[in-house]
Amino acid sequence: MTFAIAFPMIDPIAVELGPIAIRWYALAYIVGLVGGWQYIKFLTKSFPGNITHQQVDDFLFWATIGVVLGGRTGYVLFYNFDYFSQNPMAILQVWKGGMSFHGGFLGVVVAAILFCKKHKLPMLSFGDLLACGAPIGLFFGRIANFANAELFGRETDVPWGVIFPNGGPNPRHPSQIYEALMEGLILFIVLFILSRRERLRQSPGLFMGVFIAGYGIARSIVEMVRQPDVQIGYLSGGSTMGQWLSVPMILIGIGFIIYALRHQNNDGQNKKGTERA
């Protein structure tokens, strides 16, 4: 018999105070947002743009709205439109799971653009700060998916396969943990290492590009073992919706990286030309 790990019996409610119940799912999102917020505040002193702690504090509310509205809207439109069009009240039941990263990402992008225009902040520099903190939220968000026993992987015979409550009798890839590690921990480490270099910090858009492309690559890889949503299944050539949504991110991220590096090189050439003059 194939070795498998039984899914831990996790009470979905973390804290219950009378009629108020705080679920692990919501708590993970809160910890991710707060953790990313504090890390971004830490980075403001070393990144260009003269972005203040107060401005980062103010954006937290905007980011929260963007994540929740964008994430839920993306899930409704991209993954389960038929169901929610027939059960519109279910859209509000976010505690039951069902959030799309790509939708949440677009929600935060819109929030950031509006916020930067309102406060006259440099969009690329602000985006770089957000990109460095985003993996923290992704890490805890994927842990929340695991605690909710949702978005699990395909059946497997690897020794760390997990038998999920709603995944049938056979072990499956804990794809939520793979994503927590790749989209969260590893991407955070890569961005952290890059952020230690002053020359790279002076290339607006670079960190945003690395994050966007890095997420797209990580997501595309994990989708190879992640179980597609039952209402969608596999698409052309055995691909998945997650992969189709990630390809544009990879291309856009690479575009930002190229732009940032060219901008950096042009600055360097201009400085050398001034020195020779």
Asked whether residue 255 is domain-assigned, the answer is: yes
Q: What is the pLDDT of residues 78-123, one digit of tens each?
A: 788 888 888 888 887 776 667 788 898 999 999 999 999 999 999 9
Asked whether residue 237 is domain-assigned, the answer is: yes
- Band (pLDDT 50/70/90 cuts) for residue 217 is very high
Q: What is the pLDDT of residues 21-36, one digit of tens each?
A: 788 878 888 898 899 9
Question: Annotation-wise, does 142 bind a ligand?
Answer: yes
pTM equals 0.85
Q: What is the pLDDT of residues 138-195, one digit of tens each?
A: 999 899 889 888 889 999 999 999 999 989 999 999 999 999 999 999 999 999 999 9
Please report the pLDDT score of residue 170 as a whole number. Answer: 93
Asked whether residue 205 is domain-assigned, the answer is: yes
Please report the pLDDT score of residue 270 as a whole number. Answer: 40
Rounded Cα–Cα distance for residues 211 and 190 (Å): 9
**Residue span of the structural domain in which 168 resides:** 5-270
Asked whether residue 277 is domain-assigned, the answer is: no
Asked whether residue 201 is domain-assigned, the answer is: yes
Asked whether residue 259 is domain-assigned, the answer is: yes
Asked whether residue 186 is domain-assigned, the answer is: yes
Give 40 or 229, the one with higher predicted confidence.
Answer: 40
Our count of domains for the chain comes to 1
Please report the pLDDT score of residue 106 as a whole number. Answer: 93
Asked whether residue 127 is domain-assigned, the answer is: yes
Inform me whether the pLDDT recorded for 273 exceeds 50: no
Please report the pLDDT score of residue 277 as a whole number. Answer: 34
Please report the pLDDT score of residue 268 as a whole number. Answer: 41
